[in-house]
Amino acid sequence: MKKVRLGIVGLGNIGKFHAGYLLEKKIARCELTAVSDAFAPSLEPFKGRPNLKTFASCDEMIASGEIDALVIATPHYLHTTIGMDALKKGLHIMVEKPISAHKADAERLIAVHQQHPKQVFAGMFQMRVEPRYLKIRKLIQSGELGQLVRVNWIITDWFRTEAYYASGGWRATWKGEGGGVLLNQCLHNLDTLAWLCGMPARVRGFCQFGRYHNIEVEDNVTAYLEYPNGATGVFVTSTGEAPGTNRFEIAGTRGKVVLEHNKLTFTRNELDMLEFSRTSKVGFAKPDVWHVEIPFTDAPTPHAIIMQNFVDAILDPDSSGLIAPGADGIWSVELANVILSSSLLGQTVELPMDSAAYEAKLQQLIAESKFEKKVVEVAGEDFTKSFHR
């Protein structure tokens, strides 16, 4: 194979976005050859294009022989079933976030991939290629930050209006989406948090359901995290707070790194704080510090970088591999699930969480839901403004 033939299932906001740069030939050694959506009007802009076929049925597209790899950009629950079917039919898959609506489904998808290891399974976690997060990762992995002590991420600038939630019947419902701000808006933040700091050992979540909007799922969240080494963390998010905050702070024994207002700063202790505490003869002394602003430039099209890496992994299986392996997607799904589960239970939950118990609780929420949603048409707008860096 010299060129990967890509198909996209799901032509909502993100599916159309991927189709845009693929049709503009921004990805080398691949071609968008098919698209699919069950909603007929979504297919209209793609009909009549040379070398591009449209399918009303994803099953037909998968069986058509027109594609080598599938980009899955459907509502959440379909990520698992479509992903498993595509893998079984010999296709490579790129799954938009989340890889599944809940951990048990993520485990099922990963298990099928393990049965078909020659297929490439990637997740669209584009924040992993953002220079700001790469520089933070380098500080952690090089030991410059020392041992992890504390992490705080206040990410409350996900403001959404009632019109946003009314724009789709699946949005912000237990049956259609499986959750709210944690599973939809914050998956990239949760992936980045796990990618940088690892998974916590236990979590206590506090979620408010429909506090700011007429929805049945969570739109305001505070979570407390404890890590295996004793480090602690707080994760705060909301879709109802304006103007909101985006402040990411990681403290280690060698200093503190802060990302806020498009600036990355590192306050570095001249000596490890634990060593200084043990050896200092003065009660109120502190280590001397250096204040450094770490420069970075934004990645021009982070989604395209992840997509190019996916294509390269298919064509060059002996290369350095995936930036965002699909199996890593279970981290963010589990974090979203465990925060919600902890809040529903009213208690701290140990990780790894019981995926079967959570799936049963989610099915109960779906079965007992009496929420009636009115869907209205909203004005078209540039949804890419919602992308976070």
Per-residue pLDDT reduced to its tens digit, 210-232? 999 999 999 999 999 999 999 99
Name the maximum alpha-carbon separation found in the chain. 78
Q: Reduce the secondary structure of 246-313 to three states and give it as a string.
A: EEEEEEECCEEEEEECCEEEEEEECCCHHHHHHHCCCCCCCCCEEEEEECCCCCCCHHHHHHHHHHHH
Query: Per DSSP, what are the bridge partners of residue 53?
Result: 34
What is the tens place of the pLDDT at every residue in 124-176? 999 999 999 999 999 999 999 999 999 999 999 999 999 999 988 888 999 99
| pLDDT at position 87 | 98
Q: What percent of the chain lies above the pLDDT cut of 90?
A: 92
pLDDT given at position 167: 85
Q: Is the pLDDT of residue 389 over 90?
A: no
Q: How far apart are the C-alpha atoms of 107 and 359, rounded to whole Å? A: 12
**C-alpha span between 148 and 357 (Å, rounded):** 31
Q: What are phi and psi of 153, to 5 degrees?
A: -130, 110
Angle at the Cα of 306 from the Cα atoms of 17 and 251, rounded to 5 degrees: 110
Residue 385 — pLDDT band, cuts 50, 70, 90? low
Taking the model in full, what pTM does it have?
Answer: 0.95
d(CA 318, CA 321): 7
29-42 per-position pLDDT tens digit: 999 999 999 999 99
Q: What is the dihedral of CA 56, 61, 63, 64, to 10 degrees?
A: 110
- The residue among 56, 59, 124, 126 whose CA lies nearest residue 93 is 124
In the chain, the amino acid numbered 128 is R
| C-alpha to C-alpha distance for 266 and 75, rounded to whole angstroms | 39
pLDDT digits (tens, 9 = 90+) for 329-384: 999 999 999 999 999 999 999 999 999 999 999 999 999 999 987 787 666 666 56
pLDDT in tens, 74-119: 999 999 999 999 999 999 999 999 999 999 999 999 999 999 999 9
pLDDT tens figures, 50-59: 999 999 999 9
Element (H, E) at 33: strand 30-36
% of the chain exceeding 70 in pLDDT: 97
Q: What is the model's pLDDT at position 376?
A: 78
